[in-house]
Chains A and B, each alone.
Chain A
Amino acid sequence: MLITCPYCGPRDVIEFTYQGDGNRERPQPVSQDLDAWNAYVYDRLNPAGDHNEIWQHSGGCRAHLRVVRNTVTHEILSTAFARGGHKSAGHRTEGKP
């Protein structure tokens, strides 16, 4: 599997570290909303298809990336720097497991 780092170009997946689901939204640190915290920590959509993910190019430029990966085919559909605040384009079906 190759992931195209926006800085380094196409690199083998062995250079990257998976940093988790890119759909999660962290509640404000002062938030007392236990449901929101519970959702942030535990709820995952686990789709069979396109999935927003955060990866780090830990064996290269060390940038954090927003990656859309198809969990069935492992095709990488897009990559972008996470720092830009860019929301990637994976499909999310709200509320459905």
Chain B
Amino acid sequence: MVERQSPLEPAYHPGSHGNFEHGVDVILSETRPGSILQLAAWPGEEKRLIDAIRKVTGLALPDGAGGGVSNGGRAAFGFAPGKFTVVDEAEGLASAFAGVITPDIGTVTDLSHGRTAIRIAGPKAEWVMAKFFAIDFALPAFPLGAGRSTNHHDVFAQIQRSGADQFDIYVFRSFARSFWKALCHASEEVGYEVH
């Protein structure tokens, strides 16, 4: 098996950084999931696609725009009308969906090598995220498991809240290192640790 290399590697420095002498307020890490898929339903087929996601992953997506669910190893969320991102820490999720999402339901696109997953966690995670993205990160507006699509200086980002003070950010692999560096700079003032 070929080992997948991280685009962050030259800029990935585990340890404490920035203004951490008064405490580390965010933890940054790369989660490196084995599978990142984009599923899209044809108009009117959304319910069948959501059923297929439940059948294959066991994740029951809530109704509503941007609804999602995260259980640690697996995660799914809506990022656009009829479109969903599904993530698994194991490889091979695309082939698990291959026979289930038939051409009359929609499409499966394997983005496992095309996206990089970055996790930001800690009491100041919302504060740091709010410096990047013009959306409301407060828990009532951005509930647990929910997904949002937005961008930072033309770098598209899909964001899922995977914990009360934890977000998973999916960015294009080719922009990931630049985004990671910006995220590190933005986290300096609160003190950050790279795991």
Contacts and interface: CB of A to CB of B under 8 A. Distances in A.
Interface in B55-81: 65-66, 79-81
Contact of A8 (B83, B149, B156): B149
A59 B43 contact: no
Contacts of A81: 81
Interface in A1-16: 6-9, 11-12, 14-15
Chain A interface, DSSP helix/strand/loop, else mixed:
loop
Nearest to B65: A7
B134 A8 contact: no
B158 to A, nearest CB: 10
Given A7-B65, A7-B66, A8-B66, A61 B134 contact: no
Interface residues of A, number: 15
Given A59-B150, A59-B156, A11 B66 contact: no
Nearest to A63: B81
Contacts of A20: none
Nearest to B148: A8
B140 to A, nearest CB: 13
Contacts of B156: 59
Query: Which of B81, B83, B156 is most buried by chain A, counting CB atoms within 10 A of its CB?
Result: B81
A15 B150 contact: yes
B178 interface: no
B64 to A, nearest CB: 10
A60 B134 contact: no
Contacts of A74: none
Contacts of A91: none
